[in-house]
A and B are shown apart, each in its own frame.
Chain A
Amino acid sequence: MADRLTVVVVEEDRDRAIAIVDALKASEDCDVFVIGNVSGLARQIAAHEPDVVLIDIDNPTRDMLEELTLASGPLERPVAMFVSGAAGGLATAAIEAGVSAYVVDGLKAERLKPIMDAAIARFQMVRQMRTELAETRRALEERKVIDRAKGVLMKARGVGEEEAYAMLRKTAMDQGRKVADVAEALVTASGLLS
């Protein structure tokens, strides 16, 4: 069927790639290929003759896709980054969601819309999950530092755990800093002194 759109997704993380493929297939009858290994990226993409290429905006290998926008690039059909024209709002939404799309010249906006809507929704979800994961990690790290700082205070000042925490919190409030930052400074200083 010549009418089916071919979409290439550049994504190294397997689980994330599967989630994106599922979302795209559910939204539109299309062929989706995932490229996980970026070596010879432009060549691999060209082999699929895609109508649309999707890639995470934070992926450093994105610059390799820029080659596709040159007439002399490995794709015979020129590819433009999907940014302007009637679907301009969609492009801004895509950038905010963290996905960049490269689209073959001449592809109509109405054919593109379902694909882009699905991609935007999915990338937004992925991005949110990533932010939450980073947040959780950071909270865990802070917890650890605060526990170590409490230990330092309990040993040095002969106080209980609650009192040690109260001291950290009061210092943080007095200095207008975060408890974790005060704890970090204390742990570093005690490391130097011991």
Chain B
Amino acid sequence: MKTVTLPVAYMPLVDAAPLIVAQDLGFAEAEGLSLDLIAAPSWSSVRDMLAFGRVDAAHMLSPVPVAMALGLGGVRTALSAVSVTSVNGNVIGVGRPLEDKLRSAGHDFSFDDAAHAGAALASVIDDRLTVGVPFPFSMHVELLHYWFENTPLAGLDVTIRVVPPPLMAQAMAAGEIDAFCVGEPWGSVTVESGAGALLLPAKSIWAFAPEKVLAVRSDWAETEPHLLGRLMRATFKAGRWLSLPESRTAAATLLSRKEYLDVSSELIDRALSGRLTISSNGDQRQVDDLLEFNAGAANFPWRSQAKWIGARMAQRSGFDVGEAMRAAGSVFRSDLYRQELSQTTSDMPGASEKLEGSLAHATAVASETGRLILHPDRFFDGRIFDPSAKS
């Protein structure tokens, strides 16, 4: 097989690992690919590079291609999310002043209960709360809105503002934001800098949220099906390797390299192990599935996940929810995933949609070859999202 070089854009985050591992550990080479990995300075830049053909694939926030399909944001190129490269992985943190107030009020930073933490936060806020996020179209924004709406925070004046993660600590020190929701390593970096403490893993809001996707232009997927299949298999195998406990140390060392994240491997290991240091006192919390690269059919692009994102965006923007759900559902390409990966994985679900939020425990479901175990996917308020419901 002749090796083909494929330009791929990514943001230097822990969850860019599947693409980095695919290239660096030879999963791409085994598929006859050489990934030319291009670190982007911003998410808008990742999107533009992909939309205008500077790269053929990208590590992308799962809501971005959905937003584009809905006509939100500046760019309209049709993108396809061909697989989910990571599930969960974001953390919510508060700045020093809020941390102090929460502690004085007796909050335990138990780090596992979004309802409890939301109520505690609402009780210590005087008038308003400003929360920093990396991008307007992101799981960070979706989960924050969901959390605000369903806790006493709903009654307060809450603003979400975009701040590039490397500037989060600075914006906090300047009083521009009181709290943040970011992906690792930026939460841990903020804790290390002494600027604040972690309050919740975002997975305590939705236990199985599709965080990043492998995105390509939809027309490229049509014209280059073989390259796409090779890229999807290489990325899938990298994710499977990453989810093995014995890969952790090697993965942290690889990601910490200067050309990738340029952050100490110890900080990166916190996200991979789920053992987070949540405050400058050194308090630690263990979170299962903090960041999942493969298990529980994590890579399957459930159309119901995209529909949830689309429905939420439509509600906030005043669009027709039914239409938005249809448009969003077609962005997550479970059809291409089945077509390209059925020989590679035995974890192929029988259905392409599920009731989001219905699993309180790991549950065996029907799959193409037998049994597949899905991980818990509950929303913190216990609601269930039915992708076929007319609203």
Contacts and interface: CB of A to CB of B under 8 A. Distances in A.
Contact of A63 (B72, B134, B171, B317): B134
B164 to A, nearest CB: 4
Interface stretch (B37-45, B104-112, B300-308): B37-45
A39 B48 CA distance: 24
B42 A60 contact: yes
Interface string B118-144: 000000000000000011110000000
Interface stretch (B73-81, B205-213, B280-288): B73-81
B374 interface: no
Interface string A40-75: 101000000000000001111111111101110000
B9 interface: no
B180 to A, nearest CB: 14
Main secondary structure of the interface of B (DSSP, over half): loop
Interface size class of A (residues with CB under 8 A): 20 to 34
Contacts of A38: 167
A66 B167 contact: no
B43 A63 contact: yes
B35 interface: no
Contacts of B72: 69-70
A80 interface: yes
B163 interface: yes
Contacts of B219: none
A71 B317 contact: yes
Given A39-B174, A92-B52, A102-B74, A70 B136 contact: yes
A84 B68 CA distance: 14
Contacts of B135: 63, 66
Given A39-B174, A39-B176, A66 B136 contact: yes
Nearest to B134: A63
Interface string B128-172: 000000111100000000000000000000000111101100010
B133 to A, nearest CB: 9
Contacts of B51: 83
Interface in A64-121: 64-67, 69-71, 79-84, 92, 95, 100, 102
Nearest to B49: A95
A83 B74 contact: yes
A81 B75 contact: yes
Interface in B26-75: 41-45, 48, 51-52, 54, 72-75
Given A63-B164, A67-B136, A100 B76 contact: no
Q: Which of B42, B73, B135, B174 has the most chain A CB atoms inside 10 A of its CB?
A: B42
A60 B174 contact: no
Nearest to A71: B317
A67 B161 contact: yes
A83 B136 CA distance: 19
A69 B74 contact: yes
18 contacts: A57-B41, A59-B42, A62-B44, A63-B135, A63-B162, A66-B44, A69-B73, A69-B74, A70-B72, A70-B136, A81-B44, A81-B75, A83-B48, A83-B51, A83-B74, A92-B52, A95-B52, A100-B48
Interface of B: 41-45, 48, 51-52, 54, 72-76, 134-137, 161-164, 166-167, 171, 174, 176, 317
Given A66-B74, A70-B73, A100-B48, 17 more contacts: A39-B171, A39-B176, A42-B161, A57-B48, A61-B42, A62-B42, A62-B44, A66-B44, A66-B136, A67-B136, A67-B162, A69-B72, A69-B73, A70-B72, A79-B74, A83-B48, A102-B74
